[in-house]
Structure 1
Amino acid sequence: MRYGGGEGDYGTPRRIPRLWGARRNETERHYPCDDLSGGSGEAWFRAVTVDAARPSVFRWLCQLKVAPYSYDLLDNLGRRSPRRLTPGAERLERGQRVMTIFRLADFALDDHLTLVLDDTRALRVFGPLTLTYAVTEEGPGRTRLVVKLVPGEEGGLPGRLRRRVLAWGDLFMMRRQLFTLRKLAENGEAA
């Protein structure tokens, strides 16, 4: 039985929810969120393979400024995330809002978006969180979309429980987001 979202992943039932779809080499590399996380020991990975060129996948990542692309009823007030590229969403600047609760901390064109949770209400619910969406070329017209999330280090039982619940909730939402972005990027390539 295969667990996770990508070919060659090494997810097992006991690694879920921390690891879904990511390959060993993807979990061992350095990501920009590592420089912002304060050295937390815990990290979660989510990844999918996309049959589309790296610039196309990155352009769809820029759409996260517009909408979350997950379960719209839950995280977009019931509004459907756009199924066409929004003109101007590809113009990135540090400090921009992404999915309303994140701030764009760093980016490199066709390479990564790095976000920091900085919405006061969201911080109370989820705690500190940094993440990097990275795109890497796997071959001609094929891209890996990998997300590394680093929750803040919160001590004691309440912090551990919150991270455990958040890991499962994030897996549920992020899995849908990655599948949606994959489908949109692949459909764009076909067009």
Structure 2
Amino acid sequence: MDLPEHWGTRPDERARYTPADALVPVPRARWTRGVTSAASPEDLWLWVCQLTVAPYSYDLIDNRGRRSPRLLTPGAEDLRVGQRLMVLFVIDSFDPGEQLTVRLRRRGTGSLAEFAITYAVAPDPRGSRLVATVTVDGARRGGLLRYVLAWGDLVMMRRQLRTLAELAGAN
């Protein structure tokens, strides 16, 4: 078991270089989380774009108690670099239909000096795969904090990825 660093990912997905890796010059940790969806990659991508609307995790904690939408929001797929999402993040880069990479809105601040995530969508024989790669600097804090953050991130992101995969497969 690779918890809390890796959940639901294969060795090739863990080894894949992502745009998030380029955003953290001195990574101290790298976590991967992945799910398979019955949805086509195109449909799953539309739900990844919904992250600009809501976090799709535990809404009571990270969405001020408001439920993340269960229907696609028109225009959510019209991404732009610098666009804010999920309170703490901005879009750093994206390749429509393939990847969305976000980074901390205020780089180099807080407990983590740098924190970036790439959400990658790929075809799969069962539909599609959604793999999130989280790259963390955390130079300002020690390994214990990174370990605790890894567990917290796993709990929240597992819920997020499962929710997006299920919603994409249901439509």
TM-score norm. by structure 2 comes to 0.94
Partner of 2:127: 142
Bigger CA drift: 68-77 or 92-101? 92-101
Specify the alignment match of 1:7 in structure 2. Answer: none
Equivalent residue, structure 1, for 2:166: 183
AA in 2 matched with 1:162: L
Once the two structures are superposed, residues 24-50 of structure 1 have per-residue CA deviations (whole angstroms, 9 ceiling, x without a partner) of: 010111111111111414200000001
Residue identity opposite 2:35 in structure 1: V
Q: Which amino acid aligns with 2:162?
A: F
Structure 1 match to 2:105 = 118
- The gaps in structure 1 that reach 5 residues or longer are 1-11
After superposition, the Cα gap between the structure-2 partners of 1:111 and 1:187, relative to the gap in structure 1 and judged at 3 Å, is same
Q: Does 1:129 align with 2:115?
A: yes
1:134 & 1:115 partners in 2: Cα distance? 12
Give the partner amino acid of 1:170. D
Which position in structure 1 is the counterpart of 2:81?
94
- Code of the aligned partner of 1:149: V
Instruction: Name the stretch that deviates more: 56-65 or 34-43.
Output: 34-43
1-side partners of 2:88 and 2:61: how far apart?
A: 14
Structure with bigger gyration radius: 1
Distance 1:107 1:58 in 2: 11
Contact 2:4 2:151 in 1 (8 A): yes
The CA distance in 2 between the partners of 1:101 and 1:70, in whole Å, is 14
Q: For the Cα contact (< 8 Å) 2:112–2:138, is it kept in 1?
A: no
* Percent identity of paired positions between Structure 1 and Structure 2: 45
In structure 1, what is the equivalent of residue 152 of structure 2? Answer: 169
Paired with 2:161 and 2:45, the residues of 1 have a C-alpha distance of 12
- In 2, Cα distance between the equivalents of 1:79 and 1:152? 31
Give the Å deviation of 1:18: 0.1
Whole-Å separation in 1 of the counterparts to 2:111 and 2:59 = 19
- The answer for unaligned runs of 5 or more in structure 2 is none
Helix, strand or coil for the counterpart of 1:43?
A: strand
With over 3 angstroms needed to count, the CA separation of the structure-2 counterparts of 1:62 and 1:101, relative to structure 1, is same
CA RMSD of aligned residues (A): 1.7
